[in-house]
Amino acid sequence: MKTLEQVRAQLKHYPLEVEFPDIAKWQHGNTGVDFVHSIDSGVAGPHVMILALMHGNEVSGAITVDRLLQMRDTLRPLQGRVSLGFANVEAYRRFDARDPDATRYVDEDMNRVWSSVRLDGPEDSIELRRARQLRPIIDSVDYMLDLHSMHEEAPPLIVSGPLDKGIQFSADVGAPAHVIIDAGHPNGKRMRDYADFGDPASTRNALLIETGQHFSARSKDVAMDSACRFLIATGVMRASDLSTFMLAGEPSPQRFYRVTESVVATSYDFEFCDDYHGMEVIPKAGTVIAREGAREVLTPYDNCVIVMPSLRQLGPGVTVVRLGHIVTR
Q: Residue 58 or residue 66: which is nearer to Zn ion going by CB?
A: 58
3-state secondary structure of 238: coil
Strands lying side by side in the sheet with 295-298: 270-272, 288-292, 295-298
125 DSSP assignment: -
Pairing type for strands 255-264 and 270-272 reads: unpaired
Pairing of strands 288-292, 295-298: antiparallel
Burial of residue 96 (number of CB atoms within 10 Å: 0-12, 13-18, 19+): exposed
Please identify, using beta-carbon distances, which residue of 29 and 212 lies nearer to Zn ion: 212
As a whole number of angstroms, the distance between CA 192 and CA 43 comes to 26
Q: Is 178 a binder of Zn ion (CB under 5 A)?
A: no
**Closest distance to Zn ion from the beta carbon of 51 (Å):** 11
Q: Is the CB of 254 or the CB of 310 nearer to Zn ion? A: 310
Residue type, 56: G
* Nearest one of 178, 221, 310 to 17, comparing CA atoms: 221
Specify the DSSP class assigned to residue 198. Answer: G
The interface region with Zn ion, picked from 148-156, 178-186, 213-221, 266-274 by CB under 5 A, is: 148-156
Q: How far is the CB of 54 from Zn ion (least distance, A)?
A: 6
Residue of this chain nearest to Zn ion (CB atom): 148
C-beta closer to Zn ion: residue 71 or 106:
106
Question: What character string, x for contact with Zn ion (CB under 5 A) and - otherwise, covers 30-69?
Answer: -------------------------x--x-----------
- DSSP tally for the chain: helices H, then strands E: 8, 14
Cα four-point dihedral sign 83, 28, 188, 59: positive
Burial of 8 (0-12, 13-18, 19+ CB in 10 A): middle
Sole window of 81-89, 143-151, 154-162, 242-250 interacting with Zn ion (rule: CB under 5 A): 143-151
How many residues bind to Zn ion according to rule CB under 5 A?
A: 3
At closest approach, how far in Å is the CB of 150 from Zn ion? 8
Stretch that binds Zn ion, among 144-152, 162-170, 253-261, 266-274 (CB under 5 A): 144-152
Task: State the Cα–Cα distance between residues 147 and 55, nearest whole angstrom.
Answer: 9
Toward Zn ion, which CB reaches closer, 26 or 105? 105
Cβ of residue 152: shortest distance to Zn ion, in angstroms?
A: 12
Nearer to Zn ion, 207 or 236 (CB): 207
Least Å distance, CB 23 to Zn ion, is: 17
Does residue 192 bind Zn ion (CB under 5 A)? Answer: no
> How far is it between the farthest Cα atoms of the chain?
62
CB of residue 55 to Zn ion, shortest distance in Å: 4
The binder of Zn ion chosen from 47, 81, 112, 148 (CB under 5 A): 148
State the residues that interact with Zn ion by CB under 5 A: 55, 58, 148
